[in-house]
Structure 1
């Protein structure tokens, strides 16, 4: 795989760091939207799979995350993040104007990607959501009911059955290991409601990937959002639920199966 390239864009609330994993004459462009507290650099292996499959891959660090500007993990309005992702999509489409665009969102990135599809679905060829924060995610309600949000960081063991994943996450200086911030939690609650009322994505092909032992974003709550987004399952929904898998299915012990499901879905969409 060719060396990654770095860009800096002017975002809605400061500079946004963007990474590209290039591919000459790509079959498609994949835009990766990372989750809460992390950064797009954690998707190196995913990008490698996609580049090998024929994609040029782009992904930003969201505001307050990774190498982008802003107070750490502070997101006051996720609609601004969606707008920033659209600027990255414009960068990718200007580089490869004839290539189909696929959006891949994980966890918080799944919420951002879902809103992107509701706002800009006409530019997308496919949508992939991994452990998405959509539907009935009860954590914001629980935290906002407290006078003070506790300093309880994400448990590395909740990410994957592979202990090496949790160890790397713990040691990563670009990952946030502190408490959630109230404005961010409030923004989660608002955007979950906005997405629920934002309508379905019609016939846009949607792949939903989820571990059935996901303790951070439980399966049942996300299913509510997937059904809303896909029009009650009447659209082009493909569902893959992995027994025993935890939150980060791309980093799970069965990741080869997950990557095969991902590339098979994309082949079906691209050959249509």
Structure 2
């Protein structure tokens, strides 16, 4: 039976949203989850802390280790990975979920914001994966899963927000490279991206008026992540998965339970729907 029981997952950005949903799905199997995120104390605008998420993981049947980690800090990442491995006896899975977003054009993107996206999205993904590698090499079914889109050179995706698109495509190119680099070692490297907009706190901070009915819940991404992470690593690598396609492969054909408002008209996510991020209302 496929399960994440007793597996140790190191999940960045796990205090809320998609990262938290993946953590809770793994907890239902009895997994060990490292909640690696920056929010140690309540945030004035964003819900959730590493401690609150850890409590929910424990209540769901898993074991949790909340660690306050800024993925831009190499030393902090190294300390967190060491603590995780010492606490749970190793690390089986890395989920690169932490991400910064600013859907701004070039004149409106301050270099401070550009650096933030590059440092968290690309550098942070690289730093966390690199630090976890010694433990992944010892794991029975090691996986690296990065929340990033299928790579594309379609200029229409870049024009509206060059900096953000560069940072997300940078994450995807890491996946592309790692799949080849670690193929012989049997470490899987894959990416996962939602077909539709997902209702998260980060989406609310983008500043666009997005009706709730246009979104699905993070649970659909979590279920897709579970399906990927329970597959054999040696035969499941180098793929840029979309959540709905993964679940269809698993035999799911009713996606109504994942809708924020069942029957609502869903908007495709960035890099999936209409190029340039101008998603139009409509089923995906």
TM-score normalised by length of structure 1: 0.34
Query: TM-score normalized by structure 2?
Result: 0.33
